[in-house]
Amino acid sequence: MTDSDRHRAGFAEFTRTAAAREQVLGAVTPTEGTEHVRLRDADDRVVATGVTADRPVPHYERAAMDGYAVRASDTFGASERSPAALRVADTVRSGTATRVHTGSELPEGADAVVMVESTDRTGDELAVYDAVPEGGNVGPVGEDVAEGQRLFEPGHRLRPSDLGLLKAVGLDRVEVYDRPRVCVVPTGEELVQSDPDPGEIIETNGQTVAQYVERWGGEATYRDVVTDDADTLRGAIERDLDHDIVVTTGGSSVGERDIVPEVVDEFGEVFVHGVALKPGHPVALGAVGDTPVLMLPGYPVACIVNAVQFLRPTLAAAGHREPAPLPTTEARLARKIPSEPGVRTFARVSLAEDGAGERTATPTRTKGAGVLSSVALAEGWVVVAEEREGYAEGATVAVEEWEGCR
């Protein structure tokens, strides 16, 4: 296709966001490799094989209260009017009691614990004012976790509390799936890493996307800028097809230098080119062989919107995990948000809270896909679904705080 043909063709149609996401998710192959990692390094990793407790927790009978370990039969009939009289000793046998603390091992010969509040001690003499049954105030072996109990199934996403549990049952490592490997290739002959001359632009999209990959549970390879040349672009993409996902930034529209989708389609397949969302409709999604290729727009805001909408779920699927719902906050709109019917709009907003605790969302921009500061200085965005023409001033809306997503 010539430059003029490409420009005249434009986008024949726009695919809805959900349908486009399903297309690219269909090309994902979850990672098969696993590794054994230390518990301290396993937070947010995904369990690859079922985990079973090798030992019970606790592994001994323990006092569940501060008090005295006793034989339950020695307290039968004890009351405020008629306390049981016991002697405090280092061992427990008929007629004696031993001081214990919460979590202490239950002494040999004892089968119950009397709470300290139910006793009165004078020297070695102990008055017990409350009868306790056998096993009373005693934590049995395996009360928390039984030996052989199944703790986690494959696919479970580990949390700090889970890692504490694994340590408690005697594990110091856990087998998890490898993190998906994502190669990020920024494109554009005008891009430089520093000290731009007139007409040059500092490369930010690739760096931003690579850092999101790391936050979202992947391992990012951030490549040098690739110029807008078909052979060079093809070589750069082919080089990294051993990764689980390849992401390009820039060159995805229909301008004279927007040739990335065309290059991918020559030796792979482009499923979607043009999505009904703003900002960022010139996104393309495809695959080369078994490797999904996500071609994100070059405008920074458009790039970020599409990374959240398409890269994040693709990365999650490759890593055997479900993307968590984005954290949301309800707020009242300070100004209206317009939107085009049939298009999903992501309106950036800042949040403020008044003295009564009511939150207000002020739109920063609904246009301006190249204004990076409008995202960096916003707390979130309001999603206007395709069926709506926007939200009126004063409407209560859900603000997606996408920057906090994992």
Each residue's pLDDT tens digit, 327-336: 999 999 999 9
Nearest to 32 by CA among 159, 151, 175: 175
Is-contact 328 399, C-beta < 8 A? yes
Of 112-116, 220-224, 245-249, 348-352, the poorest mean pLDDT is in: 348-352
170-188 burial by CB neighbour count: b if 16+ within 10 A, else e? Answer: ebeebbbbbbbbbbbbbbb
Each residue's pLDDT tens digit, 148-205: 999 999 999 999 999 999 999 999 999 999 999 999 999 988 877 888 888 888 888 9
Is residue 2 over pLDDT 70?
no
User: What is the set of domains in the chain, with CATH numbers?
Assistant: 3-33+178-318 (3.40.980.10), 34-57+143-177 (3.90.105.10), 62-139 (2.170.190.11), 328-404 (2.40.340.10)
Is-contact 351 381, C-beta < 8 A? no
Mean pLDDT, the chain, integer: 91
304-339 burial by CB neighbour count: b if 16+ within 10 A, else e? Answer: bbbbbbbbbbbbbbbbbbebeebeebebebeeebeb
Each residue's pLDDT tens digit, 44-92: 999 999 999 999 999 999 999 999 999 999 999 999 999 999 999 999 9
The residue with tokens 């916003």 is 378
Cα gap 388→5, rounded to integer Å: 34
